[in-house]
Chain A
Amino acid sequence: MKETEGGKTTIIAVCGKGGVGKTSISAITSAMLAEDPANRVLAIDADPAVGLALALGFRARRTVDDIRNDLIAKVKEGVRGDMGQMAKALDYEVLAALEEKNNLAFLAIGRPEQEGCYCQVNDFLKDVIETISASFDYVVIDGEAGIEQVNRRVMERVSHLLLVSDQSAKGLAVASSILDVAGRAVGFDRCGLVINRVRAGEDRGIGAPPGLHLLGSLPEDDNVRTFDMEGKCFLDLPECPVRAGMRRCLSAFGLYPAAKKRNTEGVRA
């Protein structure tokens, strides 16, 4: 299902140490993939801070965890239901939580507030997210630091694991450890590293830690900084060094220019 060719869904998980610019890169990637109106792109915010919503100009009115917590609260109150009906109701609720803007859709996972094990609810929700994702050409997941959170709350398997780091030894070490965990916990087809916020004059000799494939680097860019600081929508980001750099990185990852996959409107042929 997760191959890039042949009209199937390409799922890109963006992971890395906190503060390295994952959300901006997720937003720019989503925007670039959605440039072709024939493509259907789903951006999933799996970071509890829900920063991707703002970066893409969406308002996350309801998150998947809101849905989960409401259901658990009802069960605790004694409201019982048939399992089949419960799965259908979750499907309805998650689709209703999907925000849409032309060919780009957005879904926020949110923050789980209820403690305890609700494996069946979580499994239902993951099934619903996977089912919804299958209707899109590209899914971009802005994850927390670790890929295991993506696996636990969003998707069992991704096609592209996009690791983001700055030039710091800590950022690169986190990227390496994410890859280690991913090798054991999550299925993925390809993995690549983007080094972000490289300052002028410090771009020589940039390399990836052993085992990581370097896709490219992105410069420190005032355009991105301003958009970030002012909470502007990255769909409006003008052509700038980061966009050009991201284009090169996505191209090295086999994702740009985004392949036209959909040959019918609304439904796949």
Chain B
Amino acid sequence: MDGMRSSTHGFAEFTAVNRPWPAGEKSNIVLQCDTAVELGNPRDESASFLVWTGNPGLVRDGMITRIGPDVAGRDGARLPLGKAVILDVEGFTEENCYDRHREIELARYDVNLKGYMMRAVSQYMREWSRISRQAIAEGFSLDLLAASLMERYRRLDYVRGVEILIVTSSPDDVRSLQHVGERAVRLISAMNKMAQEMSFDCGTCDFTDVCSEVSELRTMRDSLRGKENALYERN
């Protein structure tokens, strides 16, 4: 990550400033012929993920870091997209973390800004955006987008702080971010597997390495296994 700071495409750190932007329609599709800037097209590099921590010291609340160009004045550009959202949260337990994770994962879809289209597949860390010419002409920027996202996450009462990193500098830089995110996504996949399948056969599980390393996952596994055993005994 430190290597990206010296990116020739620009590096900026600033505090989020919320400014009003009109809402789009429900589906808010921006067609190619209306698009000024496209980020993370399915044929281009894209890496987007979200991580959370209970340690406030790890999150610079309200801080946006942008590596690479913003979208203003870049009509016709197709850029790679890297995006990492880091949340400072409280009150996560093995009981609620799966449901809360689902809630925070889906929160980004609620950001509905006129002239901005976003589609994503969390499982593959892909996020694809289009910004219309009209939106660019009216002053849309990645900073505005990041500030709107922050505002959405803050509406969750267990979120204490949000920091966002956006990378548009180069496919290589986005790939670097992807390597960072892969670990987080694997951890979340392990949690999802436990919660959805209620299967605790560690001998056949692909995620034993992650569970061995992360004590919270082991606690969650033990708690779910305890519940399953209790249910089995009752029946």
Contacts and interface: CB of A to CB of B under 8 A. Distances in A.
Interface of A: 40, 80-82, 84-85, 88-89, 91-93, 95-96, 100, 102-103, 105, 131-132, 134-135, 264-268
A84 B134 contact: no
Contact of B26 (A80, A82, A134): A134
B133 A265 contact: yes
B115 interface: yes
A80 B206 CA distance: 14
13 contacts: A80-B193, A81-B123, A88-B109, A92-B119, A92-B126, A95-B29, A95-B128, A100-B31, A100-B33, A132-B29, A134-B26, A135-B29, A267-B28
A135 B31 contact: yes
B25 A267 contact: yes
Nearest to A82: B102
Given A85-B123, A89-B121, A265 B27 contact: no
A95 B102 CA distance: 23
Interface in B14-40: 24-35
Contacts of B128: 92, 95-96
B27 A135 contact: yes
B215 interface: no
B210 interface: no
B27 A88 contact: no
Nearest to A78: B197
A266 B25 contact: no
A223 to B, nearest CB: 28
A11 to B, nearest CB: 15
Nearest to B114: A267
A85 B105 contact: yes
Interface string B147-188: 000000000000000000000000000000000000000000
B14 to A, nearest CB: 27
Given A84-B106, A265-B34, A95 B132 contact: no
Contacts of B33: 100, 102-103
